[in-house]
Amino acid sequence: MVDKVHVNLMNSSYDISIGFNILKNFFISTIFLNNTNSVIITNNTIKNVILKNKYYSINKNIKNIPIFSIPDGECYKNLKEVENIISFLLKKLYGRDVILIAIGGGVVGDITGFVASIYQRGVNFFQVPTTLLAQVDASIGGKTGVNHILGKNMIGSFWQPKGVLIDIEFLSTLPREHIISGMAEIIKYAIIFDHEFFIWLEKNCFKILQLQKDTLLYCIKKCCELKALVIEADEKESNLRLFLNLGHSFAHAIEAYIGYGKWLHGEAVSVGIVISAYLSVQLNMLHKDYFSRIKTIFYRIGLPIKGPKGMLPQDYLEFMLRDKKVLSGKIRLILPVSIGKVQLFSSIENTSILRFIKKFQEDKH
């Protein structure tokens, strides 16, 4: 049984296929067997998973397909690895008909999509996300890119995949902390768009952490449907899609400050959303009860609600001023004004942001 979510982008439309063990039939028949010019991009950890007996039926069908493996970790999402992949493709004489298949989490998907967007001015690629965070968010929507030492995802492009194939069975191979990290993006969708979904998550978050199949399937499909609607309305992030950056200005600052890969992305997003909600309370835009519920759901599932020790308000501001959402030196923040509704704020003075962060750090909330 395969559920599908269609992303309607005219000539760049594609399907998100979601199910259990779909890689053992649907994936192979539609990609591997129909194309003799594929290259799999993955990381060392996922490569070992694919080669295990549990996925022997997959391995059997991909044994003749070249695999390029990058080291595992956010710190390897950089231009050096992009060059390594491109050098591999050029040395093997791959042309514009090559199809890249990203099998992995957000790092693998982002870097593969970026290579696909620039190799010989653009080639096709598929996303096969293996982490919860990538399945509900990173693999969908065509945002590709790599990090720069001065900022996260500062080098990239919009390049839509030809399809996204989500095999929920992969989640059973993940460490628990990666499942918990993925929950941050799921909760983010509920805070931005859907109060009823938030209530559902309050009741069912531990079933998701336990990888209960029906709960997982509903949750992942729900997130994919929400993101598809946003992308269809605003593919290049000029208005509505900006809302998906809730918490990310603070999260990216944390990741850049402490070094990429020191925290999982979902951990940084959790803190970023909590800070955003706190700022909204200080601006009298969000009721304290909503802030309490937002903070509590992250805390209950084991995500951090405070930033790294030693990171000062000025450290946040320094990296936030390099954020892609900054226009004319003004930091634009997405803040929740309710659960299920957010707004864009572009007139908060930097001195006020500093003061609010300082108060947040000192508050015993």
Q: How confident is the model at residue 365 (pLDDT cuts 50, 70, 90)?
A: low
Please give the share of the chain, as a percent, with pLDDT higher than 70. Answer: 94
347 falls in which pLDDT band (50, 70, 90)? confident
Residue found under tokens 């799921």: 186
Judged against a pLDDT cut of 80, whether residue 285 lies above it is answered with yes
106 is in an annotated binding site: yes
Question: Is residue 24 very low, low, confident or very high in pLDDT (cuts 50, 70, 90)?
Answer: confident
User: Does 42 appear as a known binding residue?
Assistant: no
| Catalytic-residue membership of 287 | no
Beta bridge partners of 155: 146
Catalytic residue check, 265: yes
Q: Is 109 annotated as a binding residue?
A: yes
Whole-model pTM: value is 0.92
Residue 17's Cβ-side half-sphere holds a number of Cα atoms within 13 Å equal to 21
Task: Give me the catalytic one of 81, 185, 255, 267.
Answer: 185
Per annotation, catalytic residue among 43, 124, 153, 245: 245
Count the Cβ atoms, other than its own, within 10 Å of residue 318. 14
For 257, residues 6+ apart whose C-beta sits below 8 A from its C-beta are: 308, 311, 315, 316, 319
Q: What is the spatial distance between Cα 346 and Cα 330, in angstroms, rounded to a whole number?
A: 6
Residue 341 confidence (pLDDT) = 98
Angstrom distance (rounded) from CA 104 to CA 296: 30
Average pLDDT (342-348) is 93
Q: What CA–CA distances, in Å, run from 154 to 84, 248, 303, 355?
A: 19, 13, 26, 27
Q: How far apart are CA 64 and CA 50, in angstroms?
A: 14
Is 89 annotated to bind a ligand? Reply is no
The secondary element (H helix, E strand) that includes residue 284 is none
**pLDDT confidence band for 47 (50 / 70 / 90):** confident
Q: Tell me whether residue 172 is annotated as binding.
A: yes
| CB-CB contact of 101 with 38 (8 Å) | yes
Q: Is 272 annotated as a binding residue?
A: no
Euclidean distance between CA atoms 166 and 21, whole angstroms: 9
188-232 pLDDT per residue, tens = 999 999 999 999 999 999 999 999 999 999 999 999 999 999 999
Q: What single DSSP character describes residue 330?
A: B
Distance in angstroms between the alpha carbons of the first and the last residue of the chain: 45
| Exposed/middle/buried for residue 78 (C-beta within 10 Å: 0-12, 13-18, 19+) | middle
Q: Is 163 helix (H, G, I), strand (E, B) or coil?
A: strand
pLDDT digits (tens, 9 = 90+) for 299-327: 999 999 999 999 999 999 999 998 877 87
Choice between 176 and 21, residue whose per-residue pLDDT is larger:
176
Q: Is the pLDDT of residue 51 over 90?
A: no
The answer to whether the beta carbons of residues 37 and 105 sit under 8 Å apart is no
Of 186, 148, 181, residue with least CA distance to 324: 148
Residues 6+ apart with CB under 8 A from 84: 70
Give the confidence band of 28 by pLDDT, cuts at 50, 70, 90. low
Does the annotation flag 131 for ligand binding? yes
> If you search the block for the tokens 């930033």, which residue do you land on?
307
What is the DSSP secondary-structure string of 103-157?
EESHHHHHHHHHHHHHGGG--EEEEEE-SHHIIIIITSS-EEEEEETTEEEEEEE
* Annotation says 252 is catalytic: yes
> How do residues 105-146 score in pLDDT, each as one tens digit?
999 999 999 999 999 999 999 999 999 999 999 999 999 999
Q: How far apart are CA 57 and CA 55, in angstroms?
A: 5
Is 112 labelled as part of a ligand binding site? no
Catalytic residue among 188, 221, 227, 325: 227
More confident residue, 290 or 29: 290
Ordered domains of the chain (ranges, CATH): 2-172 (3.40.50.1970), 176-362 (1.20.1090.10)
Q: Is the pLDDT of residue 34 over 90?
A: no
| Contact status, residue 168 vs residue 177, Cβ threshold 8 Å | no
Pairing state of beta strands 67-70 and 14-19? unpaired
Which one of the listed residues 63, 91, 121, 364 is annotated catalytic?
A: 121
Residue predicted with more confidence, 307 or 57: 307
pLDDT of residue 32: 64
Q: Catalytic: 306?
A: no
Q: Does residue 235 have an active-site annotation?
A: no
User: Which one of 265, 267, 325, 332 is the catalytic residue?
Assistant: 265
SS3 232: helix
Structure tokens at 171: 């989640």
Task: Please indicate whether residue 322 is annotated as part of the active site.
Answer: no
Of the chain, the percentage scoring pLDDT greater than 90 comes to 80
Residue 201 annotated as lining a ligand binding site: no
Across the chain, mean pLDDT equals 92
365 is in an annotated binding site: no
Tell me whether residue 196 is one of the annotated catalytic residues.
Answer: no
β-pair partners for 157 = 144
* Identified catalytic residue from 47, 195, 241, 262: 241
Catalytic residue among 43, 81, 143, 332: 143
Active site residue 121: yes
Pick the catalytic residue: 237, 267, 325, 332?
237
Report the DSSP beta bridge partners of residue 343. Answer: 335
Tell me how far apart the 2 most distant CA atoms of the chain are, in Å.
60
pLDDT at 64 (0 to 100): 77
